[in-house]
Amino acid sequence: MSDFTEFFHQPIARRALLACVMIGFGNGYVSALVVLRRSSLKMGTISHSLLPGIAVAVLFFGLTQWSVLGGAAIAALLVGLGSLFLSRTSRLDQETALGVLYTASFAAGMLILRTLGLQQKLDEWLFGSIVGMNDSDMWIAYGITFGTVLFLTTLMRPLLIFLFEPNVAQSLGVPVRLLNYGVFAVVILVLVSSLQAVGCILSVGLLTIPAATMRLLTNDARWMFWGGGLIGALGATVAFFLAYPLDWDISSTIIVVLGLFALLAYLFSPSQGLLLRWVRER
């Protein structure tokens, strides 16, 4: 505990704790979109497409913070929109097109980064290094989190109509197509902002588990947003205090803790809990 106290008093530790709270809340808030649209697996494949974008950006523009973020965002957009284009112009469905695009591009990205000798950075981009976040990373994550929460909260009413009844939303004058692209862009931005923290492999956990947990606890869609944000922030904070004493990787610990939260909700939810339902039936 004395070692942890000394570590906690270092600026890098306090920065990591703040990043856990901020990124956990932002991803948890947005995870409601992913769960309500039933697109968790789609986001998983798109998260893997961040790597080839980084590889191409580093190859042409060098290793800078903006080349990494820009390359990751552009690659995710290209793979997501490319899969939609393939599904509309061929016999392939969108899920199959996603599988083809992201696996091929992911493998190409791995080869490029290994050729460039970026093995250490490759591990960080795959699995994250929240302790390694600098001030610029923090400001970018803060800006994306604040902007995302403000955008979704402002448009909450038309957004919920769009998510549950897109035809009704269109008849009420809601710009469904524009909102659809806006939601996709928001999810991509949040995905990119958490790249440094949890990597492109584990990021889908942050974008799915918090709202999935709330889905087991409430039927109120609004609470899935705010509750998901609180669960994401709480899970990341608990993981921070567990990881150092146990000598665990913080990024992996965040996903494990969130997974345990989901398991507890699955077993003990007042309305949906498996054990409580069993007790009532008995």
Asked if 179 and 159 touch (Cβ cutoff 8 Å), the reply is yes
In whole angstroms, what is the distance from residue 122 CA to residue 66 CA?
Answer: 16
How far apart, in Å, are the Cα atoms of 273 and each of 80, 104, 211, 266?
Answer: 35, 41, 16, 5
Residue 63 in this model has a pLDDT that exceeds 60:
yes
pLDDT for position 261: 94
Mean pLDDT, residues 47-64 taken together: 81
- Give the DSSP H or E segment for 179: helix 176-193
Residue 132 in this model has a pLDDT that exceeds 80:
no
Q: What tens digit of pLDDT does each residue of 251-279 get?
A: 889 999 999 999 998 888 877 777 777 77
Asked if 250 and 16 touch (Cβ cutoff 8 Å), the reply is yes
What CATH number should be reported for the domain whose range is 2-268?
1.10.3470.10
Q: What tens digit of pLDDT does each residue of 192-235 get?
A: 888 777 877 788 888 899 999 999 888 888 888 999 999 999 99
Q: What tens digit of pLDDT does each residue of 77-123 get?
A: 888 778 777 887 888 787 788 888 878 888 888 888 888 877 667 77
In whole angstroms, what is the distance from residue 197 CA to residue 16 CA?
Answer: 9
Asked if 73 and 193 touch (Cβ cutoff 8 Å), the reply is no
Residue 2 in this model has a pLDDT that exceeds 70:
no
pLDDT for position 260: 95
194 burial type by CB count under 10 A (0-12 exposed, 13-18 middle, 19+ buried): buried
In whole angstroms, what is the distance from residue 236 CA to residue 55 CA?
Answer: 28
pTM of the model: 0.84
Helix-, strand-, coil-residue percentages of the chain, each rounded to 5:
85, 0, 15
Higher pLDDT, 211 or 43: 211
Measure CA 62 to chain center: 26
Query: For the chain, what are the domain ranges?
Result: 2-268
Tokens of 258: 């969130």
